[in-house]
Amino acid sequence: MEIEQKNQNNNNFEDIMELFEIDYIYENKPIKRTIYEPSLKDKQSLLENLKLKIQNISNCELKKNSKQIVFNDGDPQSPIMIVGEGPGQKEDEIGKPFVGDAGVLLNKMLEAINIKRSKVYITNVVNYRPPNNRKPQLSEINRYAVFLREHINIIDPKILILMGSTAMEALFGQTLKISEERGKWKEVIINQKTYKIILTFHPAYLLRQPDQKKYSWEDLKMIRKRINELKISF
Ligand code: URA
């Protein structure tokens, strides 16, 4: 009866505490939610784990025929992540992505919009060199896409640049055509996180088809514009 009366008479929090003889202090303030932003150390250990997982892959023709894993290059804290297709001969020898002719062109493309290669993060869809540099098969793309998605979640870039059809297929399947989809901002959700993506031609394709460079330049300008809008400084 006494409780009822007190509750009816007022909703005063302290009175209720006293009535029930509760003596701890409860701060009725909104919870300040912090967004989880992994530090460089966290990212490095997540990357090491992912690399190990890929190194433990079994029954993979790519792994069997290559010299070593080609996992990444650049800054894991970068807001820009670039995804290529897979290692070529030079990458297989050195163990880093984009160090051959396509890499030289990639560096120039980045410089053209005032970005140093060391300031971005670079990886590929498949992490082992396909025999004779063939395009990875769909089953291989799909198998490695699981790792790629995890890789993107770890790096958590503000801008994701997919270079070429293999990178496009890894995240969007085989329904799109790079010639139609390049130069458009898209979004992809990975593990409940939305990423801004732009598709563009692969530098190796541009080496074979230099007349397509004009389109690539348009894409690069769009990327630069977005960098400026996001106030990303390097
Ligand atoms: N082409 C790619 O897609 N990745 C590399 O690392 C090298 C060439």
Higher pLDDT, 7 or 232: 232
Q: How far is CA 133 from CA 21, 123, 159, 178, 192, in A?
A: 75, 16, 28, 20, 34
What are the start-end ranges of the E strands in the chain?
A: 73-74, 80-84, 121-124, 159-163, 185-190, 193-200
Domain assignment present for residue 1? The answer is: no
The Å distance, Cα 226 to ligand 1 centre, comes to 24
The Å distance, Cα 225 to ligand 1 centre, comes to 25
**Residue 62: domain span:** 11-26+39-229
pLDDT of residue 1: 44
pLDDT of residue 226: 98
Domain assignment present for residue 5? The answer is: no
Atom of ligand 1 nearest to the CA of 125: 3
Report residue 216's pLDDT band, with 50, 70 and 90 as the boundaries. Answer: very high
Domain assignment present for residue 32? The answer is: no
Q: How far is CA 223 from CA 119, 134, 214, in A?
A: 15, 29, 15
Q: Are strands 185-190 and 193-200 parallel, antiparallel or unpaired?
A: antiparallel
Report residue 233's pLDDT band, with 50, 70 and 90 as the boundaries. Answer: confident
Rounded distance between C-alpha atoms, residue 40 and residue 44, angstroms:
6
Domain assignment present for residue 115? The answer is: yes
91 lines ligand 1 (CB under 6 A): yes
Rounded distance between C-alpha atoms, residue 221 and residue 213, angstroms:
12
84 lines ligand 1 (CB under 6 A): yes
In the chain, pLDDT over 70 holds for what percent of residues? 85
Domain assignment present for residue 65? The answer is: yes
Q: How far is CA 38 from CA 45, 47, 146, 153, 216, in A?
A: 10, 12, 20, 11, 33
144-183 pLDDT tens trace: 999 999 999 999 999 999 999 999 999 999 999 999 999 9
Rounded distance between C-alpha atoms, residue 18 and residue 33, angstroms:
30
The Å distance, Cα 134 to ligand 1 centre, comes to 12
124 lines ligand 1 (CB under 6 A): yes
Mean pLDDT across 22-41: 61
Residue 25 has pLDDT above 70, yes or no: no
Residue 194 has pLDDT above 60, yes or no: yes
Q: How far is CA 66 from CA 13, 127, 208, 217, in A?
A: 69, 10, 24, 33
65-108 pLDDT tens trace: 999 999 999 999 999 999 999 999 999 999 999 999 999 999 99
Domain assignment present for residue 34? The answer is: no
In the chain, pLDDT over 90 holds for what percent of residues? 82
Domain assignment present for residue 33? The answer is: no
Residue 7 has pLDDT above 80, yes or no: no
Report residue 110's pLDDT band, with 50, 70 and 90 as the boundaries. Answer: very high
For residue 159, list its beta bridge partners. Answer: 80
How much is the pTM?
0.85
pLDDT of residue 162: 98
Residue 128 has pLDDT above 80, yes or no: yes
pLDDT of residue 187: 97
Mean pLDDT taken over the chain: 91
Domain count, the chain: 1
Mean pLDDT across 46-62: 98
74 lines ligand 1 (CB under 6 A): no
Higher pLDDT, 234 or 51: 51
Specify the CATH number for the domain of residue 219.
3.40.470.10
